[in-house]
A and B are shown apart, each in its own frame.
Chain A
Amino acid sequence: MSGLDTAIRFEHVTKSFDGTPVLDDMSFDVCRHTACCIMGRSGAGKSVTLKLLMGLLKPDAGEIHVNDLEIETLDSAGLVEVRKTMGFLFQYSALFDSLTVADNVAFPLRRHTRMTEREIADSVRERLAAVGLETELDKMPLDLSGGMRKRVGLARALALNPSILLVDEPSSGLDPITAREIDKLLIDLKSSNKTTIVVVTHNVPSARRIGDKLIIVNDGHIIAQGTAQELAASTNDVVKQFLSEV
């Protein structure tokens, strides 16, 4: 695969915490304008993978390329520029609880654009309308349900029109209907905005809906990767067991 087609490249990445290996020689890549779902048991290193991609953690060994830039070699200014092209939807949304919904979404726009307050307000309204929350502008995050918070988090992650979106457990703690709504938002985003999406999830049906490519991680290793059909044909016991838990 040529570098031009690849938005994300993970090469032999190793990461451990307090001597306990979480990722061990992990390699994969994600093509531009596609969605990749990383699945695995709890503690398999899925969320760590996303944080490594965002440069929130540094790998012990290996290389991580985002948009053809090796992010662990970047200085803080370089990392800021890369992060402007990425969005991150956290598992528990991580909304700033001292700011209103509107201010949460406006935050990256105020920091990184020269938009006027009127333009920012319009953009915030547009972003929140896209996730069905245009009437909740003045609410505080703590007044929202888990699903609403997740949608606000998505609106904030998309505020700067990132070319890459990282999503950590989009359906955790949500009812099936809300989880499907989030999935639909992500699928729309991939098809209409041509955003490259990396999703970490436990939810196999959700991963099948969203992902062009599925990766199954176990004990810090990738044990299978490919399309949903390719994984369904896998003979690996863990993969079969994982995919049968639907």
Chain B
Amino acid sequence: MRAIRVCFKRPFELSEISHQVYLAGCGSLPLVMTSGLAIGVVLSMHTRASMERFGAEALIPAALAIAMISEIGPLMTGLLVAGRVGAGIGAELGGMRVTEQIDALESLAVDSFHYLAVTRIVACMIALPILTMVMNSFALVGGFLAETAISNVSLRLYLHQAFAPIDFMEYVLPTMKTVVFGFIIGTVSSYLGYTATGGSEGIGRASTRSVVLSSTFLIVVNVLLVRIIFVLFPSGAL
């Protein structure tokens, strides 16, 4: 609650937020792009194995797109970012706490919670939807590469088949739920790092718990968010 309240108070720390978006977003791009590509290839191969039995190969791009956009893309991106960024935030803030850098910030008349925690939470909330779109795009590229190697399908036809059954809201809602994932990752990791105690062991503990707790919360909250989307936006539920 404090994070949300402080978020709208001056100073808005825009330069620190953009720095953190860069670290969380750009730093995660290679991981997200590689994972997306690999997931796309693997899912396409698995889907083909099933679809071929029913002569429904034309549905492979749509199946991949629906699976990625509605669930796998947001959740995988969330888990990857929880692992990479969450651990980093937990360790960084934990390190700052045990080396008195957070006290030093306070002694320099800076609200350390606003400067360190809120900026990272907001950065995660901004970076997650963007990374999810990147993950989905690369998964489709991976799927296309796997498909075109077997069936020689054109990119144009592949994209048409992939997006035909998906309307705008069906794309936007699952992508936007990653804003909540970003909030969870940023909040849990910042809290555990900010309150770390006990030297290097405490830093390690904060880092590990950041990943474990934010991943767990993320998976549980995902169930709730999917349910909420189904109830509030029946047309947006795939």
B139 CB to nearest A CB, Å: 34
The answer to whether B107 and A86 have CB atoms under 8 Å apart is yes
Instruction: Flag whether B56 is at the interface (Cβ < 8 A).
Output: no
Instruction: Flag whether B111 is at the interface (Cβ < 8 A).
Output: yes
Tally of B interface residues using CB under 8 Å: 13
Instruction: Flag whether B52 is at the interface (Cβ < 8 A).
Output: no
The answer to whether A111 and B108 have CB atoms under 8 Å apart is yes
List CB contacts (< 8 Å) of B69-118 with chain A.
95, 99-101, 103-111
List CB contacts (< 8 Å) of A70-113 with chain B.
76, 79-81, 83-84, 86-88, 90-92, 94-97, 107-108, 111-112
The answer to whether A96 and B107 have CB atoms under 8 Å apart is no
Instruction: Flag whether A54 is at the interface (Cβ < 8 A).
Output: yes
Interface size class for chain A?
20 to 34
Instruction: Flag whether A56 is at the interface (Cβ < 8 A).
Output: yes
Q: Which residues of B contact A79 (CB under 8 A)?
A: 109
Q: Which residues of B contact A108 (CB under 8 A)?
A: 108-109
List CB contacts (< 8 Å) of B95-147 with chain A.
95, 99-101, 103-111
B196 CB to nearest A CB, Å: 15
- Give the nearest-CB partner of B6 in chain A: A76
Give Cα A54 to B108, complex, Å: 10
Q: Which residues of B contact A51 (CB under 8 A)?
A: 103
Contact of B109 among A84, A94, A95 (CB under 8 A): A84
Give Cα A55 to B111, complex, Å: 12
Q: Which residues of B contact A97 (CB under 8 A)?
A: 95, 99, 101
Known: A90-B104, A94-B100, A94-B103. A76 touches B109 (CB 8 A): no
The answer to whether B103 and A56 have CB atoms under 8 Å apart is yes
A10 CB to nearest B CB, Å: 18
The answer to whether A96 and B104 have CB atoms under 8 Å apart is yes
Give Cα A81 to B107, complex, Å: 11
Give Cα A51 to B107, complex, Å: 9
Q: Which residues of B contact A107 (CB under 8 A)?
A: 108
The answer to whether B107 and A76 have CB atoms under 8 Å apart is no
Q: Which residues of A contact B106 (CB under 8 A)?
A: 54-56, 83
Give Cα A90 to B109, complex, Å: 15
B70 CB to nearest A CB, Å: 38
Give Cα A51 to B102, complex, Å: 12
Q: Which residues of B contact A56 (CB under 8 A)?
A: 103, 106-107
Interface string of A162-198 (1 = CB under 8 A from B): 0000000000000000000000000000000000000
Interface string of A98-130 (1 = CB under 8 A from B): 000000000110011000000000000000000
A146 CB to nearest B CB, Å: 13
Contact of A111 among B95, B99, B101, B110 (CB under 8 A): B110
Of the A-B pairs whose beta carbons lie under 8 Å apart in the complex, a sample of 11, sorted by A's number, is A76-B111, A79-B109, A80-B109, A83-B108, A87-B107, A90-B107, A94-B100, A94-B101, A94-B104, A97-B99, A108-B108
